[in-house]
Amino acid sequence: MERDPADKPVALVTGASSGLGDSIVRRLAAGGFRVLAVARRRERLERLARELARSGEVETLALDVTSDGAAERAVRAATQAFGRLDCLVNNAGAGMWGRVGDTDDATLDAMIEIGLKAPFRFCRAAVQVMGAGSSIINIGSTFGLVGGLKSAAYCATKAGLIGLTQSLAVDYGARGIRANLIAPGVIRTEMTEASWDTDWFRRTNQEMTPFHRNGTARDVANVVCFLASEEGSYVHGQVIALDGGWTSTKYLSREALTCERVAQAAPEGGGR
């Protein structure tokens, strides 16, 4: 029997215009979700929605997640378009380089805005409308579990996101709202493109991954879909390192051991 479209669950995905977010939208749509795709680049979002028009129902909202009222606008757009909200994926993010000593206030503020305050506000707006069976998935990073070279503000916000996720789990579990965090290892996207083929990046990331291949955006999207679905209905308050075992090993390549050299080679601009 054909399912009533109004019964199909609804997901809101931030950072949907590229990389992991694009894959997450595609995977959720394939998994039967109606999706509100959010990011700043409108044309990218509209292209994604057009590509999925046959197989899924995707609405778009072009906005800066750090702007005033963004979270409330996005949650309202989801409920107005689809009538409900069952899943929030806080995925929008940016990388910034710098040790603590090199990170000025403007950089620190920008990083906290995108990495911590925006996800916090999106969670706050989402829990107002979510019912039992809903799921919040925050996209952290392995660099929220361990330190990264010249990534102090990024690591700090990703670690903070773990605290947010666990607080949500404690406070909203009784209402049947689950919260989990996925901490991906490095994945080739716009964020990592500039570094991907460099010697230092390969040696500290790809070469230190015990599994036999690099992670993909699809790997992340699959776990998001699992966590959002009935299959994941008892996974709650967890931090899932999705890194091919990168955080399991203490074996370091020679270059990683001489971290000064690696740190010097790390670019000043771009991101992780």
Ligand X SMILES: NC(=O)c1ccc[n+]([C@@H]2O[C@H](COP(=O)([O-])OP(=O)(O)OC[C@H]3O[C@@H](n4cnc5c(N)ncnc54)[C@H](OP(=O)(O)O)[C@@H]3O)[C@@H](O)[C@H]2O)c1
Q: Which residues here bind ligand X, judged by CB under 6 A?
A: 14-21, 39-41, 44, 64-66, 91-94, 114, 139, 141, 184, 186-187, 189-192
Active-site annotation holds for 154: yes
Name which of 20 and 149 has its Cβ closer to ligand X. 20
Q: Are 267 and 194 in contact (CB under 8 A)?
A: yes
Backbone φ/ψ region at 32: left (φ over 0), alpha (ψ -120 to 50), beta = left
Residue appearing with tokens 């997640």: 65
CB of 271 to ligand X, least distance (A): 8
Name which of 93 and 232 has its Cβ closer to ligand X. 93
Amino acid (one-letter) located at 118: A
* Alpha-carbon gap, residue 169 to 106, rounded angstroms: 31
* Alpha-carbon gap, residue 24 to 111, rounded angstroms: 23
Name which of 79 and 247 has its Cβ closer to ligand X. 247
* Alpha-carbon gap, residue 110 to 188, rounded angstroms: 23
Name which of 160 and 184 has its Cβ closer to ligand X. 184
For 68-172, strand residue ranges (E) read 87-90, 135-139
CB of 56 to ligand X, least distance (A): 18
Name which of 8 and 113 has its Cβ closer to ligand X. 113
CB of 81 to ligand X, least distance (A): 18
Residue 225, token pair as written in the block: 């879909």
CB of 195 to ligand X, least distance (A): 9
220-255 burial, b if ≥16 CB within 10 A, otherwise e? bbbbbbbbbbeebeeebeebbbbbbebbeeeeeeeb
- Given the residues 154, 172, 234, 251, the one annotated as active site: 154
Residue 159, token pair as written in the block: 């670690």
CB of 84 to ligand X, least distance (A): 23
Strand order in the sheet with 87-90: 58-62, 34-39, 10-14, 87-90, 135-139, 178-184, 239-242
Show which residues are catalytic.
Answer: 154
